[in-house]
Amino acid sequence: AQSVTQLGSHVSVSEGALVLLRCNYSSSVPPYLFWYVQYPNQGLQLLLKYTTGATLVKGINGFEAEFKKSETSFHLTKPSAHMSDAAEYFCAVRGNYGQNFVFGPGTRLSVLP
């Protein structure tokens, strides 16, 4: 069975500050890991994904995430927050045998001027 936890349902940062959104997962098989972003009244959009290879993954809009197997984590970071980053962020896991996607509860990011 797979599960995803996201620490902090709401995170606030100042514009220009570091963004850190936490994701921990459990999976009985080697996982594929994803971060999605959802802007108001829109569907989810893929930010980045980890499948195999390099554990530091770069995505769109300056975001990146690092897969740490020993910590079962896939935290999302961005060095400098922008107002346009305000959105809801979802971490998801999928086993590499075609299992369903399992999404975390989401973290709402607010960026303060």
Partner 1 sequence: DARVTQTPRHKVTEMGQEVTMRCQPILGHNTVFWYRQTMMQGLELLAYFRNRAPLDDSGMPKDRFSAEMPDATLATLKIQPSEPRDSAVYFCASGPLGRDNNEQFFGPGTRLTVL
Q: Which residues bind partner 1 (CB under 8 A)?
A: 32, 34, 36, 42-46, 49, 51, 90, 94, 96, 98, 100-106
Provide, rounded to whole angstroms, the least separation between the CB of residue 103 and partner 1.
Answer: 5
Quote the least distance from Cβ 27 to partner 1, whole Å: 13
Distance between CA atoms of residues 91 and 76, nearest Å: 9
Q: How far is the CB of 17 from partner 1 (least distance, A)?
A: 26
Torsion sign (Cα): 100, 91, 9, 5: positive
The CB density around residue 1, as the number of other CB atoms within 10 Å, is: 8
Q: Which is nearer to partner 1, 41 or 70 (CB)?
A: 41
